[in-house]
Structure 1
């Protein structure tokens, strides 16, 4: 079922955190990335300047040099990971509340790129109350 596949992707994302940013709404992932970029400016310039951004490569670079990170960068990275964890827990909650609606209205919609969220938005008037509530609250929380 699509909802179960989406749930597995979200759980895997939670475990790999920064490696699957595409699971997270663009505005939320941008704020997490900017927060880490700002707190780790020097380390990014020194250790990760030649790393191509995307697919968690920057995060992996910082993790590879974790023994050389300043306290400020460590704190920024940990705070960013915490932000992402909260975001992914929110996404997982919506998946749990909307599982049957995702299966009914979004079957065949590819996972990723916010397509499931777009599908739920398009079908908002048909969604079960639990799904509507969770989805609406998540949209507010993730702005």
Structure 2
């Protein structure tokens, strides 16, 4: 075992008991304080829904599987394909619902052309409605004062 008694802990730099040896003992220098700069990191969650989907449930499942671990991010980038937009009619609400508490910004990338240009605006509208409903619910459940 050790020669320690219960309640006695080893000291890394023992202090000498004799005052004369304490004056001549080398003074240990404390390490210089080092500050590590923390970079401004912005987490991005990327959701890719550009595959071919047969049903509404396939699109919902793919969206859920890709967003279930995206609990906190700065930006959510959602890439949509034509099949996902055609099969899932409530996709703007589903995207807004998946990220409304976890992402500060949602970017929606749709296929080129004017045919789907409205889609990002619909996601933004749904997000505003969900946030307004959430704020109204919080204000009604808080106690006054």
Please, what TM-score do these two structures have when normalized by structure 1? 0.27
Larger radius of gyration: 2
Q: Which has the higher helix share?
A: 1
Question: Which structure shows the higher strand fraction?
Answer: 2
